[in-house]
Amino acid sequence: MTERLTPLELMTKLISFPTVSRDTNIPLIDWVADYLASHGIESHRYIDPEQPKHALFAHAGPWEEGAVVLSGHTDVVPVDGQAWDTDPFTVTEKDGRYYGRGTCDMKGFDALAIWALVEAHYAEVNRPLQIALSFDEEIGCTGAPPMIQAMQGVVPKGSAVIVGEPSTMQAVTGHKGGIGFNTHLVGFEVHSSLLHTGVNAIMAGAKLIEWANDVNSDNMAAKPTETAAMFDPPFTTAHVGVIEGGTAHNITAKDCKFAMDFRVVPGEDKNKWGTAYLKKVREVEKQMQDVVPETYIETSTRFDVPALQPEKDGEAEQIVRQITGDNASHKVSYGTEAGQFQEAGYSAVICGPGDIAQAHQPNEFIEVAQFEAGHDFMRRLLTRLQG
């Protein structure tokens, strides 16, 4: 019989693949597919037609609808410029922690999900279990929607999705949605002593960024809705994290590029914020063209992630609460693939080992105790599926 790897052995293997979002994840997916096949589990793929990225999904148990789906992503953020004390792509145990890129976000959960699927196969569970491993979550949750679509009709549709983003094994039942726009302003270069005859793309872009500051100030000052009050912060936010452009200090900048991102509380229409931003873009563009007609602003959608709406008597939430005993209310401001599963007709909840504060950090880690709590959760889930 093929060896059944432990969750730690599985995590160690997964982390050895440097699946930074800018690079391929196919070697990791190939390995997972081969490992599952060695245990008699057939896996299926969604193959991205435009880049070397694959998603994988698989089913164990009776061939019927109603599976519990364990959802994780295979990509990780870069380690470039971060000061690591250990090899980020080797799991290192030290002081009660497992260090490595993805231990927390979220190959630790992926390993537990793979372990649980194999165990479900051998246990001959009465209710099916599925795993769904996506790509490009870290750059806007763009890999999950085509994967979810590809699952339909290939495996029986599941009913309850547990997205294993790090939540310290608490049941997170809501998160903000998001929409983001790549923005490229094209100005007109002149010597800065004659700036009134040119168009400085950076200074024009600053008007859009200042608009975002005003949006944040207005939203912060407004009384939050009942739903918004569940989140921290309790309002929709606009943000620019990176900006580039310009040629020299004494030349009006020809180019300015940045991304404008919105994190939108559930119940608000994220497209409303996109429309408002694009309206402001056209206003600033007109001001630019009044000086030099050939200047312009280009925008493209960078990501579009639906919120996870709190469900009334949601099945996924009930499963997690019954296993963990957690009956508190937890909401988060970051986005996940849970809202995308929910939009596709699944009940969804977030529950995974580790603390989101460690995600993306140098010396990323997951507490050994948290990893073991995740393992215990999977054991209890398997018992439930056998009932």
Tell me which residues are annotated as active site. Answer: 75, 137
User: How far is the C-alpha of 47 from the C-alpha of 348, rounded, in Å?
Assistant: 24
Question: Alpha-carbon dihedral of residues 131, 134, 140, 142, nearest 10 degrees?
Answer: -110
Q: Is 100 left (phi over 0), alpha (psi -120 to 50) or beta?
A: left
- Answer whether 317's CB lies under 8 Å from 349's CB: yes
Q: Left, alpha or beta for 271 (phi > 0: left; psi -120 to 50: alpha)?
A: alpha
Rg (CA), the chain: 23
Rounded to an integer, what distance in angstroms lies between the CA atom of residue 167 and that of residue 153?
Answer: 31
Q: For the residues of 45-76, what is the DSSP string, one character each?
A: EEE-SSSS-EEEEEEESSSSS--EEEEEE--B
Separation between Cα atoms, residue 340 and residue 304, nearest integer Å: 10
Peptide bond into 233 cis (omega under 30): yes
**CB contact at 8 A, 300 and 280:** no
CA distance 118 to 5: 9
Q: Token digits for 69? A: 């789906």
Looking at the chain, the number of H-run helices and the number of E-run strands are 9, 16
Sequence-distant (≥ 6) Cβ neighbours of residue 230 within 8 angstroms: 174, 310, 329, 331
Which backbone phi and psi does 47 adopt, to 5 degrees?
A: -105, 120
Extract the tokens encoding 298.
């280009």
How far does the chain reach from its first CA to its final CA, in angstroms? Answer: 26
